[in-house]
Amino acid sequence: MGRRGYFAFSLLWTMAVSAIAADNPDIYRLRQGDSVQVSVWHEDSLRSQVVVLPDGSITIPLAGRVEVAGFSTPEAEQTITAKLKTYIPEPVVTVVITGTGGNSAYVLGKIARPGMLAISGPLTVLQAISMAGGLDRFADEGGIKVIRAKPDGQEILPVHYKDIVSGKDMATNIQLKAGDTIVVP
């Protein structure tokens, strides 16, 4: 397959994956602190291993600063491709996630080991509390909450710990999202 054939295949593949990403809210989206490897086919000098900065951007050769936070990898590839077209006629860009450092939640308060928890897969409140060593003996089981950032502010999600551990009601055993904070008073 020649360069043009590969480019056409890559373009169709990227468009298909982007359509799937737009319809799938569970697809992984880049976050501040994530590591990615960016490469351009037949342009080894443009290969970069970068970390998504706190402002949501990465900097790569020729393209400069590129906003990628909140993008799926195909969306990031399309954005970088558009920036590189000024310098390379038909760039074929690949973005590979090499680290998910931005995918974390926090546990604080009366807990054995408060701090940051890496989210490497689905993680519920009960699992996070377990990973943090469990509740302190003075913890207020009835006052546990999850603080979640929303575009319009923050949301407080109550956690009914006794109902969860007794198996009576699992509704508040919330699946955590990146940036969530569990507060144990």
In eight-state DSSP terms, residue 136 is -
76 & 110 share domain: no
pLDDT for the residue numbered 2: 53
CATH number for 125: 3.10.560.10
Closest CA to 18 of 80, 104, 76: 76
52 & 95 share domain: yes
* Cα separation, 18 vs 24, whole angstroms: 10
96 & 158 share domain: no
* CA 39 vs CA 28, 33, 35, 168: distances in Å: 19, 19, 13, 51
What are 81's two structure tokens? 């491709």
58 & 146 share domain: no
108 & 91 share domain: no
92 & 123 share domain: no
pLDDT for the residue numbered 185: 96
* Cα separation, 48 vs 91, whole angstroms: 15
10 & 57 share domain: yes
60 & 88 share domain: yes
pLDDT for the residue numbered 102: 83
Number of structural domains, the chain?
Answer: 2
Last residue in a domain, options 76, 100, 124: 100
The whole-number mean pLDDT for each consecutive block of 10 residues of the chain, a chain of 185 residues, reads 52 52 74 95 94 95 94 97 94 95 92 93 94 95 95 94 94 93 97
Last residue in a domain, options 100, 123, 140: 100
CATH number for 19: 3.30.1950.10
Domain boundaries, position 147: 104-184
96 & 7 share domain: yes
pLDDT for the residue numbered 144: 97
